Amino acid sequence: MEEFYIGDPDYQQGHWQLQNLPDNCAVVAQASILSQFGFDVSMDEATYVAMANGWYSPGFGTSPDDLGNVLEAYGVPTHSVDFASIEQLAAELQQGHRVLVGVNSGELWDQGPMAEFWNWFNEVTGRDSSTFTPADHAVAVTGLDLSDLNHPQVILNDPGHPDGAGQVYPLDRFMDAWENSDFHYTSTSMAPGGAGPIDFDIARFLGLGTTVAGVSFGLDPITADMAGDFVNSLVSNTDWDAVLAAI
């Protein structure tokens, strides 16, 4: 079977980090992305930056509204989307952007009877899953594996799982867990190596009196205008010959 991926999960897997606090998943996921942009940022430093600015609270974690702020602090521009589609997410990946999403960890990790029950209960009662069983975890989406068009998969760097580097999940399971954040994602607005020069004063975030400036990146993003249409066809079209012909 020929392999077909959107994104670069193998490369990103090498930058995965396991979170060192119970609830700093969003901070650690951002630190892992910063390392891909050439920044040597420890989890402790990233956590300090987030705490100092109110973007992370011990015991509460990071609000979806603050996801991406640590990246912005180091000069990496981001944008966020609510009620996003898998097509939009695929388009971000195809451009080489780094993507963070909110998920419900129970639905992502536990596919036992209780997870199945809550999925069923939310469906039959019409409850908003983002309110009743809200997202409680942040992960990086590193790729889509479309090698088997009948069983598409999503590849994640999960800072909350001890084997979280390059974790692979069926697309439908990921969608169930992602739905609980109202399909929210935060993406970098450029790929690593993607826009510059970037000048920033980290002293205003750390209070250390040190300015780091003039970090330059060359523009070399991956482009694929048809990524969204392709994935839309993937999830809605059973005529796989037609789908493949459209690539």
The residues near 107 (Cβ < 8 Å, ≥ 6 apart) are 115, 118, 119, 133, 173, 176, 177, 180
Residue 112 has a pLDDT of: 57
Q: How many domains does the chain have?
A: 1
**Which structure tokens are listed for 76?**
């990496």
Return d(Cα 19, Cα 75) in angstroms, integer. 22
CB 94 within 8 A of CB 224: yes
For β-strands 78-81 and 185-188, DSSP reports them as antiparallel
Report residue 140 CA to chain centroid gap. 3
Q: What is the pTM of this model?
A: 0.73
Alpha helix (H) ranges present in the chain?
9-13, 25-36, 43-52, 69-73, 86-94, 105-109, 113-125, 129-132, 171-179, 203-206, 227-236, 240-245
List of residues 6+ apart from 184 with CB closer than 8 A: 64, 67, 80, 81, 82, 84, 101, 102, 135
For residue 106, the cross-strand partners are: none
Give pLDDT tens digits along the chain (247 positions).
Answer: 678 999 999 999 999 999 999 999 999 999 999 999 999 999 999 999 999 999 999 999 999 999 999 999 999 999 999 999 999 999 999 999 999 999 999 999 875 555 555 555 556 665 544 444 689 999 999 999 999 988 999 999 999 999 999 999 999 999 999 999 999 999 999 999 744 333 444 344 333 333 323 322 222 233 233 344 444 444 444 444 454 444 4
Boundaries of domain holding 231: 5-245
Q: Is 227 helix (H, G, I), strand (E, B) or coil?
A: helix
Domain harbouring 236, CATH code: 3.90.70.10
